[in-house]
Structure 1
């Protein structure tokens, strides 16, 4: 069990999403919901970054004590993480971090690619000039990170969430946001050949061009190729 799991900013090298973007329904309605969100972000970050390891047993009382909150929001967070496949509930009712197999990681990558393609297609036509410039800047960040799986995973997911927030589909963005930590963990664990890395670089440049041209078809194809889908 980690010794330091306090409610702080996400760990370096992992993705944090402001609550205003993550939850489009507005401000949390009561404090318990707010703490549940924070616990979800904190525990999800710890799993995605490897602070909480595959197969590690989780005890809600200990997690609550480390975060300085009650057990209720921790249990809410554990339930949400179970629903996105990051935590298992064992027959003994104990909970553990779900072991990440290569097949699960590949499934997550492909799911992100297909959803990202839809988000890119829907967002491109309506992006403001400022948002288009921001998207291209994030693509530049991805280009710099490609070749380093952990950094590239964060940059790719950051770009995906940015576009999905502007795609005009609250359902798509909410689903991607809820699964951000399972996607981040999977993308950080996968290894890529030099050919795949080169393909991702080309696709990133193609995505920047498609955004500049407001080309929805091109943006969808390029985003999918970034995630290895031809």
Structure 2
């Protein structure tokens, strides 16, 4: 497994969640590619931590479908599996629709302005071809209603399944994600207007524009 050069250690007091997020993000952004073997010793050295939090993170990643572990053999980054991504996408879409339905008309001006600003950054990142920034800005647009709702069960579902969907979403943005800019704008306007049902419908539809097969992006 090639370890990315120049990645700084993150400190001995790194929390388990931080290890998980670092490894999750490295899979989502393509640093670790489908089929690549992940060795806990090499990952621990890369992150500057012991093997224990790395092993725990790999177990969590297995629960999210990002890695596949063969007992006594190896842990590898999972392939982008069409049925798994489709199932995760449907769950993610339903959760975001619920969050938007419950928060439409209730978000303050600051939250709405943050959503609009994130959408502008999303559009700019797409124009410049910065996929990492595009994914971050897109995530921020959708995270604001979720955070405002404060439903921890919903957040836990998103935490589990969102990374699997984000990996496929990166493929979409590498092709053309500009249709999402307009959909985001419409979503924000509907939330501001308090149109809960239409806003929830748009939120649901946004996620169903996501291709679930690499071939759909070509």
TM-score with structure 1 setting the length: 0.75
Q: Are 1:76 and 2:64 an aligned pair?
A: no
Paired with 1:123 and 1:7, the residues of 2 have a C-alpha distance of: 39
Q: Tell me if the contact between 1:123 and 1:163 (Cα under 8 Å) persists in the aligned partners.
A: yes
Paired with 1:104 and 1:141, the residues of 2 have a C-alpha distance of: 30
C-alpha spacing 1:170/1:134, structure 2 compared with 1 (3 Å): same
Paired with 1:58 and 1:132, the residues of 2 have a C-alpha distance of: 40
Q: Are 1:158 and 2:140 an aligned pair?
A: yes
Query: Between Structure 1 and Structure 2, how many residues are aligned?
Result: 204
Partner SS, residue 15 of structure 2: helix
Who is 1:58 aligned against? 38
Deviation at 1:124, TM superposition (A): 2.3
Who is 1:130 aligned against? 110
Who is 1:184 aligned against? 166
Deviation at 1:101, TM superposition (A): 2.4
Q: Are 1:3 and 2:4 an aligned pair?
A: yes
Task: Show the 5 A alignment for 1:1-230.
Answer: 1=1, 2-4=3-5, 5-7=7-9, 35-144=15-124, 150=131, 152-190=134-172, 198=179, 200-228=180-208
Paired with 2:120 and 2:19, the residues of 1 have a C-alpha distance of: 32
Deviation at 1:149, TM superposition (A): 9.5
Paired with 1:149 and 1:183, the residues of 2 have a C-alpha distance of: 18
Paired with 2:207 and 2:126, the residues of 1 have a C-alpha distance of: 12
Deviation at 1:143, TM superposition (A): 4.5
Q: Tell me if the contact between 2:115 and 2:140 (Cα under 8 Å) persists in the aligned partners.
A: no
Deviation at 1:163, TM superposition (A): 1.7
Paired with 2:164 and 2:9, the residues of 1 have a C-alpha distance of: 20
Q: Tell me if the contact between 2:100 and 2:199 (Cα under 8 Å) persists in the aligned partners.
A: yes
Paired with 2:204 and 2:156, the residues of 1 have a C-alpha distance of: 20
| Structure 2: gaps spanning 5 or more residues | 210-218
Deviation at 1:193, TM superposition (A): 8.7
C-alpha spacing 1:191/1:126, structure 2 compared with 1 (3 Å): closer
Partner SS, residue 61 of structure 2: helix
Greater helix share, structure number: 2
Paired with 1:143 and 1:120, the residues of 2 have a C-alpha distance of: 21
